[in-house]
Amino acid sequence: MATATEVVAAKPREGKFNKNAARRVRVAGKIPGVIYGAKEPAIALELDPKQMQRILHSESGHNTIFDVSISGGAQVKAMIVDWQYEPLKDRLIHVDLKRIAMDKAMRVEVPIVLEGVPVGVKTEGGVLELVLREVEIECLPGDIPSSITVDVTNLALNASIRVADLPHDGKFKFISDEDETVVHVVSIREEAVPDAAAVAAATPAEPEVAKKGKTDAPAEAAAPAKGAKK
């Protein structure tokens, strides 16, 4: 279950909501954010960046459900649905929170975690390739898994695991296409150096003058006279 025990304290932002106002919030050690959803009005907030970072870097990441205590209002369940970093300093600068109704199903993307070394890699010289890093599911908020672990030990060369093959506890259903490949073992493709005969066969024949360079008279005659219009 993707939940956090800590309570996030939030303060409603007042005044204008522009770049200068957001900058003042950050200078004061907080980050601007907004909470919306559950058919309630959106509220602009000031949040603790360290708490938001802890949640984003937790095992369940952005799928974590936590309590938000808003000054002057009731405590609500929420989830981080969008966030922004400052590119140069890699610093969190804004978050969007969504109110969560624990009795209503929702759609989320859950990461895939691989376990084991495939037999196709160990004994058959293949390479393991993770094609789908996240899978979309639908379930109640309290049933969101932190991740879906896939045992790839018995995966042979040229074999694959599809979404339909993923472990399933019956508490969620897949929204992603069940025929979509999640992971497979493929052959190592060696880049062969083509021989001269193969290159000659694949390349159209060129006029003899083109192979001799610009010093040949026919090639020079083909060039426009100096100062002529192109």
Of the chain, the percentage scoring pLDDT greater than 70 comes to: 80
Q: How confident is the model at residue 1 (pLDDT cuts 50, 70, 90)?
A: low
- Quote the DSSP letter at residue 179: T
The predicted pLDDT at position 26 comes to 93
Q: Which residue has the higher pLDDT, 100 or 2?
A: 100
Backbone angles phi, psi at 31, to 5 degrees: -125, 145
User: What number is the average pLDDT over the span 178-203?
Assistant: 69
At 172, the amino acid letter reads F
d(CA 89, CA 31): 15
The predicted pLDDT at position 89 comes to 84
C-alpha distances (whole Å) from 15 to each of 20, 25, 69, 137, 173 are 11, 12, 21, 39, 44
d(CA 76, CA 63): 16
User: Dihedral of the CA atoms 221, 222, 227, 229 (nearest 10)?
Assistant: 150
Q: How confident is the model at residue 196 (pLDDT cuts 50, 70, 90)?
A: low
Does the pTM of the predicted model rise above 0.85?
Answer: no
Of the chain, the percentage scoring pLDDT greater than 90 comes to: 67
Show me where the domains of the chain are located. 3-99, 106-186
CATH fold for the domain made of 3-99 = Ribosomal Protein L25; Chain P (2.40.240)
CATH architecture of residue range(s) 106-186: Beta Complex (2.170)
Q: Give the three-state DSSP class for 150.
A: strand
